[in-house]
Amino acid sequence: MKNSKFVVRGGNELNGEITIQASKNATLPIMSAALLADGSIKLKNCPNISDVANMVKILKSLNVKVKKIKNNYIINPQNASNSQIDCELAKSMRSSIFLLGSTLSKFKTTTISMPGGCKIGARPIDISVNSLKKLGVKVVPQGDCLFFDATKAKAKKIKLRLPSVSATENLIQFACKLKGKTVIKNCAREPEVVDLCNFLNLMGAKIFGAGTSKITIIGVDKLVGVEYQPIGDRIVAGTIMIAVAICGGEVVLKNGVPYQNKKLIKILSSMGCKINIKNDIITISRQNKLSSAKLISTGCYPSFPTDLQSQMLVLSLFVEGKTRIVETVFENRFLIVGELKKLGARIKTLNNREVEIEGMQFLKGGEVLAQDLRGGASLVLAGLMGKAATIVSNIACIDRGYDSLEKMLSRLGADIKRQ
């Protein structure tokens, strides 16, 4: 599947109903936190994506027993005995960094290499490392790896330099069994952080303040095995909603987590989409030409998510007027621009953080290269409005976060095939 391509032919409306997969960004740290349990964990309806498969490989390399039954995972960490995360596996996936907090809590020492993932810009792990140092963790460089020793760690109050998701989730996992009270200020507020805390609290942890900028953790001695289902994926839901805005039609999204996508829903509504919400179900329709959103700027939650920026850039190609997009999170998030220009897109790069998009009717189709997860999915969306076939290669990076994107879109009427 590594050299597979998507062949997309445009012109079709999207109509029908779809159930949104469980969140990649919630499932991965929860799988990591399962390492802390004193019994078996059952995670239900996990997404069938390559990042989850890689996380399973890493857990197994730590001698954790993992069994898959359909889309459910049974994780038994009771005989885990290896505290060194395999370097090659870690390099295959950015989310391997989430294991830093859990392995350090489980074994008191751990060794990790620099994690891999999409090349969308600098994503240093220094916030995680420096925060652990403040708790008394000793960090020693060993070649391309870092060795951590938590035998003398102590709970205390710390403040993050930036509201980093990975640092917040690592500290939460590490502090769950650390004696005393740990307070994290300026922490990440993302829904996936809240979901991790809900999972750990169900296991018996004492975590307070999830979803705010201050989280308090009181260490406990034991975390029990539980069953848990991660929340729906707000980025996948957003991608499908934006696809409908591009193509027209009407789609019902079950497990659409509307409360997590308030910014997107507000923007799409202002552009002319009709959106109805009932509990966890989103119905979106688009009949007429949309107007420009004028300005979209990304930021930490609850601001507009950087993971939906590329998709909105593509949508902005098919609206009335010009749109300016400002990327404040990652400096290389506009890798997609060069690929879209191959299809005839009119995009002006103002600087590495800002672009201006001129609305048009269609793209001409052609061959493009997916260079990162969200940008790759966005090239597929661009193909949905191509006059000729659009061939998207290197789709392994798309499979990291989307559970069969081609099947989702085909089910709604799109002409897309994997080759």
Strands of 347-351's sheet, edge to edge? 295-297, 322-326, 354-358, 347-351
Distance between CA atoms of 203 and 225, rounded to whole angstroms? 6
295 three-state secondary structure:
strand
Determine the topology of domain 6-21+232-418 in CATH.
UDP-n-acetylglucosamine1-carboxyvinyl-transferase; Chain (3.65.10)
Cβ atoms within 10 Å, residue 358: 15
Q: Where would I find the beta strands (DSSP E) of 273-379?
A: 274-278, 281-286, 295-297, 322-326, 347-351, 354-358, 366-369
pLDDT value of residue 122: 44
Question: Which residues 6+ apart lie within 8 Å of 59 measured at CB?
Answer: 31, 34, 35, 66, 75, 77
Q: For the chain of 419 residues, list the mean pLDDT of each consecutive stretch of 10.
A: 86 97 97 97 97 93 96 96 77 74 96 62 73 96 89 98 95 98 98 98 98 98 98 98 98 97 98 98 97 97 96 98 94 90 96 94 95 96 97 96 98 98
Same fold, 6-21+232-418 and 24-228: yes
- CATH architecture of the domain with residue range 24-228: Alpha-beta prism (3.65)
Distance between CA atoms of 75 and 58, rounded to whole angstroms? 12
What's the chain's Rg over C-alpha atoms?
A: 21
Question: Which residues 6+ apart lie within 8 Å of 229 measured at CB?
Answer: 22, 43, 44, 45
Angle between helices 24-33 and 165-175 (to 10 degrees): 30
DSSP secondary structure string for all residues of 125-181: SHHHHHHHHHTT-EEEEETTEEEEE-TT----EEE-SS--HHHHHHHHHHHTTSSSE
Q: Are 228 and 40 in contact (CB under 8 A)?
A: no
pTM of the model: 0.95
What's the residue count for the chain? 419
Angle between helices 165-175 and 99-107 (to 10 degrees): 20
DSSP state of 363: B
Q: Which single residue is written with the structure tokens 């959103």?
A: 293
Q: Catalytic amino acids?
A: 118
For the chain, the domains span: 6-21+232-418, 24-228
pLDDT value of residue 128: 92
